[in-house]
Structure formats: structure tokens, C-alpha cells
A and B are shown apart, each in its own frame.
Chain A
Amino acid sequence: MHPGDSPAREHGLRAALGRFFAPVPLMGWLLAVLTAVLLERHIGDALIDALGLPKIPVLFGVLVMLKKPALIPGSLAFTGLVYLIPVTLVARFTAPLTNGIAAALQRMPLMVSGLIHLGLLYLIFHLWTDVSDYRLITLKLMLIAVLVTLSINLINGYMGEFSCSHPGFMALGAYMASIFTVGLFTDDRLFGDAVFHTLLAPAFFPLGLFLGGCVAALGALIVAVPSFRTRGDYLAIISLAFMFIVKSLLENLEFAGGPRGLSGQPDWATLPAVFCVVVLGVWIMNNFVTSTMGKALNAVRDNESAAEAMTVDTRKTKMICFMFGAFWAGVAGGLFAHVLRYVAPATFGLTKLAEVLAMVYFGGLNSVWGSITGAVSISLLSEALRPLQILKWICIPLLLILVMIYRPRGIMAFKEFNPRKILAPRTGKAKGGTDAAA
């Protein structure tokens, strides 16, 4: 089914590319992208002058090309010269070296190796977003989307229930965190003077996010109690109702700004803060779903009575999963509010729900990889296609339909996310060997 599964050599462009890049470990990719980002930083300005571009294309030229078709050749050349060619060359031809580094890191504890890779990834993000504020906010929102998508994947994918209340959970988290930070740490027209004037104030940001998550988890408890006695459509309907209840509740909360929303959040959601929270969230959720306690969710989904007969406490399992998913949605909501530094009830409506569901089903159910893929591709696409305006909402659904036809379960459904394997050095031969044995 997947290219590379069969030991026989396949033909075609995709297979050839697969073979060409097979020996590149993650370390190789990171270093290659880092090279490209550094390249853009140092020769970018000279290159745009040479190619006749007004400024460095922020999203790999897609935006520029859609806005001004005359600049297509220049943008393509820029992206090719700065990104495609250097990444390809560096990734492929430093492979022996990067495999060596990866092998050396492999001998260290997973934590050390993981942190080194994450550090590199952060460095890339930092350098890439340094060029423009637009990139910075796009990247932050993309990272938050990863967190939201994974948290809804826990419920809709791993547990196999169809829940629609995620925008509601995000709203609860966003408001709780905002009220906490705006109310206590800033001078605000709604909440009056700051209660605490301290340099340490940003250190309370995690606490604010945590509280937001807890409120969202409480909301989940309210949805779960009546709906978990039944299965299937009921949860979908109750959770949809919950989303609307939260929205109208917030619209009527005068002290939190009502329908006009709440603004003036302190600028604490910096890139490192967002990056750390998202990485932490993905790590914890991945830990959960790979443990037997998390796999119990799959057992409950695939056959609940069998799970019960095998000593699995199905009620507890479902409840924990639902509240846990909601908690991370709440945390993501808190981050979201502090990235935009403004939050209004209208943000958390059906459009948000459609966006979140598109991400999770596009990427693939029951898979951390799927959530990352879905969130990254849909949020980048919807940014990149912005110049198309209303046509954007034809292109993205069309893409979703195509995915549903050709990969009905999403692009990367049911794929294990194993940090040790991801960071491991690649040797083209060994990979073929394990595939043949499997």
C-alpha cells in the first residue's frame, strides 16, 4: 500500500525521490533547512534585487505569485535557489556526516538527543521568523493549531467519538487565561489597575494557561456526564450544543467585554513560550496514547464490551480522555488569545469548528503524525491561499474531498509517533531489510 513497503524496486518519480532521500536522518533535514534559512538571511536581500522582487517572499513565494502573477518566475527562482536546491543538496550530501552525528546522539539518553533536535528546530523557527512579523504570527498560530488538532484527535480519533465542542473548550481556556493575565497583571479598563506589579509577571503565564485548561476540562465534564451514557450521535449533538452555549454565555458576560471581546493581553506568548508549550503538550499527549492506559481508548473504540471484560475501566478511560483533550484545547485557547492579544466570542464559532475538524480529518485519525501534518498543511494553505479570497474556501474543501477519496482515513492515520525511531540514523539498506522482514 505504501511506497517502499515492498522490497521490489519501484519505479516512478515518488519512489525515486524516496530512494534518493532514504539515507537522510532528521538531523540532516534540520541542518539542511537551517542552511537555507541562514542563506536567506545573508544573501536574501542581494538576491531579491537581482530577481526584481520587492521583498523577500514570506511564504515561499506563494502569496506573491497569487497577488502579482508577473513575479512568478522571480519568486520561483528565489524559492528554488534559497530553499529547494540548498536543502536537497545539503540534506543528501551531508547524509554520511549527519548519520554519524545521529548515531552519536543515539547513544545518549533520549531526552538529551531530543532536546538537541528541538533546539535546532527552534533555531530554524527563530531565524525564519526574524525576517517578518507576518511569518512570526503565522508560525505561532500554526504551532497552536498542532496542539488543538492533536487534542481533538484524542477524542475523535483515539477514542472514536465525534465531538464538536472543541471551539467551546478553546474559548473557555482563552477567556480564563485572559481574565487571569489581564485582570491581575495589567492596567485595564474592565478590570482596573494591575494587582501585581512585578518583573516576574510573565512567569505566571504558564499558570494562566493551566487555569484555562482546567476550566475547559470542567466544561468537558459537563458535556460528558449526560452524553457518555449513550454512544454515537448523541455526543456530537450535545457537544455542538455546548459550543453554542459557551459562545452565547461569553457574549453575555459583560465584565469580560461581552460580544466586543477582551483585549489588552500582555505580550507573553512569544515564540519560545508558544514553542515550549506546544512541544510539552505533544510530548505529554504522545506519552499518554502510547501507554497501555491510552491504548485502552482504542480498545474502547474498537469494542467497548471486550475492553470491559478485559478489566479496562471504560468509563474512567473515556472521561479522562475527554477532559484531557479539552484541557489541551483550553491551553491552546489561552495561547491563541495571547498571540492575537484579543479574544472575542465570535472567533469560536462554526468556522473554527470546521477548521479544526478539517485539520484532524485531513491529517489522519489516531495519529500524532497525522495531527501535525493536518495542522501544518491546512494552516499554511489557508494563509498561502489568502489572496484568492473567497476562492480559498473552494480550494481547501476540494483538497479535503480529494484526500477523502484517495486516503479515506486521512494522510497519516494510525501511524506511530516514536521519538527514538524519528531521531535514529538512517541507512538505506537497513530500512529495506526491516521492510522485507515485516
Chain B
Amino acid sequence: MPLLEVIDMSHNFGGLRAVNDYNLTLEPGQVVGLIGPNGAGKTTIFNLITGIYRPTEGDIRLEGQSIVGLRPNAIAARGLARTFQEMRLWRYLTVKEHIMMARYSKLSYGLLGAFLSLPKRHRQERESEEMAMEYLKIFGVDRFADQMVIDLPYGAARRVEMARALAIEPKVLFLDEPTVGMTPEEMADMIKVVHQVHERFKPAIFLIEHRLKVVAELCQRVQCLVFGEVIVEGDPTTVQSDPKVIEAYLGDEKVVA
């Protein structure tokens, strides 16, 4: 049984067919990439699977159970974590609090525990704090623990976001353009971080990427999406050299010539 399975998923925005008969299987530990030109519907697919939108048709199964119609927080708590293209960190929380927040679903002290500051709350918050510091160490950002995120350099903020997603202890990790807006050095660094994450936590990774180089280095399998439809699927080299992909990225060869 695959870890994550998307079967014939389609989605309409009003009259516009944004995603058409999309299929995906993700085995444990596998790294799959999703490429495609701007506006192809890549982020829509992420939003559909993570529960922000509800697909018009089709089914999504996580470990064999359908997750269609669940709220995004419930899907995340089942082990599907994501990052965002524009990071979406919280302006007034410290770096450490970001990681602790991702462990929200694992807290069991309840409202009474929070209101009355019961020992159970202190124990769980302390554990959560220790865990947070561990994650920050792994990503090399522990020295920023008590800082607000707006004071962080871009690369560090990206790492914090990745650490936050992993604190959920996900089985599947969705990365939405993790290298967007990065210099080549930062990009190489990010590729290293993703490799590291994959080796250490062994989640299945599904990533959207614009840059073919990143995809080639990270992914075992790549899908190319154009106008909401997967036109080619295969290993990175095959997909990159496929004429249809080149056409989608660079335009019609005849026109170029």
C-alpha cells in the first residue's frame, strides 16, 4: 500500500478546470518532484491535497484512509506537513515558539491545564521546548531561538520553516518551491538541507520546483504539469529531455528557431 495516493483528482474554480485527472503515488521515503510553468496549477495541487481546497472529483488516501474533506489541521496531524512558497512565518512569535507551535496537536493538557497552569502543562511544555531546541540544532539555527523571525536572514528563515514542518513528525513532507528567490550558494545550501532531512527523518518528500537543477539533484521521479494536466512522468533526466517539457518551458521550438 502506498503512503500517499491521489486518484483521479480534479478541481474546478468556477468554470475553469484548474486540475484535471491528477494521479500520484508516493511510497515511504520516496522523493517526487512536480515541475511546470507558472500558472500550471502546482500550488493548487498542494492546496487540494493538504485540505485547503476540497477537490471537485477524485480521492486522496493517506495510508489507505481517505482524507478528502478533513480540515487542514487534521490532515497535518495525520502526518502530512508542508512548507509555503512565501514561508508564512508568524510575525510576533520567536523562532523557538514556531517549532513548539507545530507540536500543538501533541499537547494533551487541555484547556484546564492551560488556565490553571497545572504540572502536566509544565511537563509537556518543557518536553516540547527541549524537542524544539533539538530541531533547531539539527538545522543549525539554535542560536536564533529567542529571536523574532523578522530579524532572521533569509536562509535561516527558510531553515526555521523547514524545522517547523518537521516538528509535526510528518510521514510526508510537501515543499513548495523551497529555493525560490535564492542565490546559487543559498540554493546549494538548501539542497543540502533537504538531503539531510531526508536522510535523518526519512519522510516521503513531494516538492514543487521551478529550477530543473534542483529537481535533478533531489528527486527520483518527476511529474511535469501543464495547464492542470500531467504531460510527462518519469526519472529526472527523461523528463528534462522530453520535447513536450522543453516546449512547455521554452515555447514551441519552431517559433524559437
Distance in Å: Cβ of A364 to nearest Cβ of chain B: 13
Tell me the complex Cα distance, A309–B47, Å: 10
CB of B93 within 8 A of CB of A295, answer: yes
Q: Mark interface residues in B117-146 (1 if CB within 8 Å of A CB, else 0).
A: 100010001001000000000000000001
Contact pick for A308, options B76, B103, B128, CB 8 Å? B76
Query: Most chain-A Cβ atoms within 10 A of its Cβ — which of B103, B115, B121?
Result: B115
Q: Mark interface residues in B51-70 (1 if CB within 8 Å of A CB, else 0).
A: 01000000000000000000
A51 close to chain B: CB less than 8 A = no
Please judge, given known A-B contacts A293-B111, A293-B114, whether A311 and B105 are in contact too, CB under 8 Å: yes
B256 close to chain A: CB less than 8 A = no
CB of A293 within 8 A of CB of B92, answer: no
A418 close to chain B: CB less than 8 A = no
B223 close to chain A: CB less than 8 A = no
B90 close to chain A: CB less than 8 A = yes
Task: Return chain B residues, CB-CB under 8 Å to A293.
Answer: 104, 107, 111, 114
CB of A309 within 8 A of CB of B72, answer: yes
B179 close to chain A: CB less than 8 A = no
B interface residues, tally (CB under 8 Å): 38
Task: Return chain B residues, CB-CB under 8 Å to A313.
Answer: 71, 73, 104-105
For A365, the closest partner residue in chain B by CB is B92
Instruction: Give chain A's interface residue range (CB within 8 Å of chain B).
Output: 20 to 34
CB of A288 within 8 A of CB of B52, answer: no
CB of B101 within 8 A of CB of A288, answer: no
Please judge, given known A-B contacts A308-B72, A309-B82, A312-B104, whether A291 and B114 are in contact too, CB under 8 Å: yes
A302 close to chain B: CB less than 8 A = yes
CB of A291 within 8 A of CB of B92, answer: no
B97 close to chain A: CB less than 8 A = yes
Distance in Å: Cβ of B104 to nearest Cβ of chain A: 5
For A413, the closest partner residue in chain B by CB is B92
B224 close to chain A: CB less than 8 A = no
Distance in Å: Cβ of B171 to nearest Cβ of chain A: 14
Please judge, given known A-B contacts A288-B115, A291-B125, A310-B168, whether A299 and B72 are in contact too, CB under 8 Å: no
CB of A310 within 8 A of CB of B104, answer: yes
B205 close to chain A: CB less than 8 A = no
For B161, the closest partner residue in chain A by CB is A306
Tell me the complex Cα distance, A301–B92, Å: 9
Task: Return chain A residues, CB-CB under 8 Å to B84.
Answer: 305-306, 309
Task: Return chain A residues, CB-CB under 8 Å to B90.
Answer: 298-299, 302-303, 306-307
CB of B92 within 8 A of CB of A308, answer: no
Tell me the complex Cα distance, A302–B115, Å: 23
11 pairs across A/B with beta carbons < 8 Å?
A288-B115, A291-B125, A292-B128, A293-B107, A299-B90, A301-B92, A303-B88, A311-B76, A311-B102, A311-B103, A312-B105
10 further interface pairs, Cβ-Cβ under 8 Å (given A287-B116, A306-B89, A309-B72): A284-B116, A288-B114, A292-B97, A292-B100, A298-B92, A302-B89, A302-B90, A311-B103, A314-B73, A438-B146
Interface residues of B (CB under 8 A from A): 50, 52, 71-73, 76-77, 81-82, 84, 88-93, 97, 100-105, 107, 109, 111, 113-117, 121, 125, 128, 146, 164-165, 168
Interface residues of A (CB under 8 A from B): 284, 287-288, 291-296, 298-299, 301-303, 305-315, 320, 366, 414, 438
